[in-house]
Copies of this chain bind each other. A is one copy, B any other.
Amino acid sequence: MNAAINRRITLAARPVGMPKESDFSLTEEAVPEPGPGQALVRVLYLSLDPYMRGRMSAGKSYAAPVGIGDVMTGGAVGEVVRSEARGLKEGDLVEGMFGWQEYALCTRGAARVLPDSGHPPSYALGILGMPGATAYFGLLEVGQPHPGDTVVVSAASGAVGAAVGQIAKIGGCRIVGTVGSDEKAAYITDELGFDAAVNYRTANDIGAALDEACPGGIDVYFDNVGGPMTDAVMQRLAFKARVVVCGCIHHYNLTEPYLGPSHLRHILVNRARVEGFLVFDWLPRYPEAFARLGAWLDDGSMTYREHVIEGLENAPDGLGMLFEGSNFGKLVVKVAER
């Protein structure tokens, strides 16, 4: 073990606009030794998520930015290979913010020991992890859908969006997803049970497409994207509509503030509620979400799709795919075989 090398991807520069290769460095160090209370984790899967773009910038966000030269932040699943921590033992599968590296040290408090649920370990980065909890609490606690409501979710084939739509479907809602390809449109309607899909890349008029998909207006909008899609949705809110502001990936790589029409009048006339949502605020209730989502996977009322990239060194490219929307399903990087 002493001779083993830990490959890591560090932040080399703060990106301007879309992150590029030179914003990252692949560095090597010796695999660290766990001290008292620590365990050494061998990373199996790394998660790629839109929030990572915010951590690469110095501006205000929910959390402190990644420092230049520091390992890129990120959730990962790994296997405990040595432990000096009570409650963590060799062979345990754990999930935590292990970062973009092959080995990480962690404490018991910073790791979730994965139950033997029969689901693939990587699901703990998606439907049975942060994105799943995001969909579950964001939709149910902030969006507060009622049976019969029309629920629109953007980035609907993504990790969060696909779960939002399926949970809303289970809850008796009419569900409409916005996506960036016909293949994704077919996927959400044919495989996930969405009632309609709007392809923002091919629709001549996004507003007209939304009108057709949502003839009674939009009761709940779960927003992952911002930008022109959100502008179009805001003009079609129903009375007492709820908008879950979960992400605005359209804005993350812009070098100037996004300018668009004001939403105030639509919010006012409809007495709508627009509310920001961050999943970490719901941490104490994650087990509830994972139990329900796991049961829905087991009984077939929910399906889940991953997009797996092989090799830690390809994580920066993967992040680029996320911002181009060229992934299809929850993006994970396979770092090692179990």
A interface residues (Cβ-Cβ under 8 A, vs B): 60-62, 223, 226-227, 230, 245-248, 251, 257-265, 267-278, 281
Contacts and interface: CB of A to CB of B under 8 A. Distances in A.
B276 A270 contact: yes
Contacts of A269: 60-62, 276
A259 B257 contact: no
A248 B270 CA distance: 14
- Chain A to chain B: the 3 pairs with minimum beta-carbon distance, closest first: A257-B261, A268-B276, A274-B274
A247 B259 contact: no
Contacts of A264: 223, 226, 230, 245, 248, 251
Contact of A262 (B251, B270, B272, B277): B251
A264 B286 CA distance: 25
B262 A258 contact: yes
A278 B264 CA distance: 13
Tell me how many chains of this kind the complex includes: 2
Contact of A248 (B60, B247, B268, B276): B268
A265 B278 contact: no
A281 B273 CA distance: 15
Nearest to A247: B268
20 contacts: A60-B269, A61-B269, A62-B269, A223-B264, A226-B262, A226-B264, A245-B268, A248-B268, A251-B262, A257-B262, A258-B261, A259-B259, A259-B261, A260-B260, A263-B263, A267-B274, A268-B276, A270-B276, A271-B275, A271-B276
Contacts of A257: 261-262
Contacts of A275: 267, 271-274
A263 B60 CA distance: 14
A272 to B, nearest CB: 5
Contacts of A258: 261-262
Contacts of A62: 269
Contacts of A260: 259-260, 262
Contact of A274 (B273, B277, B278, B281): B273
Contacts of A265: 226, 248, 251
Contacts of A270: 276
A50 B174 CA distance: 37
Contacts of A248: 262, 264-265, 268
A111 B97 CA distance: 63
